Amino acid sequence: MKEVVLTKNLGYLQLDTSAVTATIGPTTYGMGTWETTTVGNLFVMREEIDIAGMTVEDLTFFPMAGDVQRAATNLGLAFATGGLIQEWIYVTAAPIDFRVGIPSMTFNLVGQANISETEFQNILWGQSWTWVMNTSVPSNFALPVNTTMMGSGEPTNGDRLYVYRLIGPSGFTPTPGSFCELPSVRLLISGQLKKEEEYSQIMRMRRSYELAQLYDED
């Protein structure tokens, strides 16, 4: 058995909130691979953690805990009279897609409407935050009013972990020249590498394959 800590940096995001539908920017420098999804006002960064060097030795990764190191979130003038930002970070064994709107993601455990047991097992670790304007200080800083842990903690012997960070602003008042800022963060996933019996290892590899087949890039 060997204990490891996996890390992944997830970049800064600035959103223009001058209109009802937010857009990435106006600054784009150093923001990485952010994308606008098809559901509107939902933005995603997709990254991977390569663990092939561990699992190629026939070791299985057992996730134990996770944490996110971060700086301050700035909501800006558009959120001064209301509105919020939902943020989700997931670590999964196989790729996933996001086809539901913000209301469904807000009120479902792991961000997918009518989630199945298979989908739940795919999400190894996750955390979500609900950010609102901190009215106690005149600096547009955000305050987390809800933080939720999620995920199955299922072991994996796949060759990589898939990391997603999603941002969903809603309920804000469009204000000319206004924008909000989500800081860059560092994701930490700690776990153990263990040697399993051959049968268990084969069944886990089969499970990883089945989860991967659920992903539809279209």
pLDDT of 60: 86
**What average pLDDT does the chain have?**
83
For the segment 97-126, what is each residue's pLDDT rounded down to a tens digit? Answer: 765 555 555 545 554 445 555 577 788 999
> With bands split at pLDDT 50, 70 and 90, how would you rate the model's confidence at 96?
confident
pLDDT of 103: 52
Burial of 33 (0-12, 13-18, 19+ CB in 10 A): exposed
Give which of 102, 156, 152, 154 is closest to 130, Cα–Cα.
Answer: 102
Residue 202 has pLDDT above 80, yes or no: no
Residue 30 has pLDDT above 80, yes or no: no
> With bands split at pLDDT 50, 70 and 90, how would you rate the model's confidence at 87?
very high
Low-confidence winner among 48-52, 129-133, 140-144, 194-198 (lowest mean pLDDT): 194-198
pLDDT of 2: 85
Instruction: Read off the pTM.
Output: 0.86
pLDDT of 79: 93
Helical residues (DSSP H) of the chain, grouped into ranges: 52-55, 102-107, 117-122, 198-213
Residue 50 has pLDDT above 60, yes or no: yes
d(CA 13, CA 35): 10
pLDDT of 115: 55
For the segment 154-197, what is each residue's pLDDT rounded down to a tens digit? Answer: 888 888 899 999 999 999 999 999 999 999 999 999 999 888 76
More confident residue, 54 or 146: 146
For the four alpha carbons of 162, 213, 150 and 155, in that order, the dihedral sign comes to: negative
d(CA 68, CA 46): 16
Return the residue matching tokens 């206004």.
178
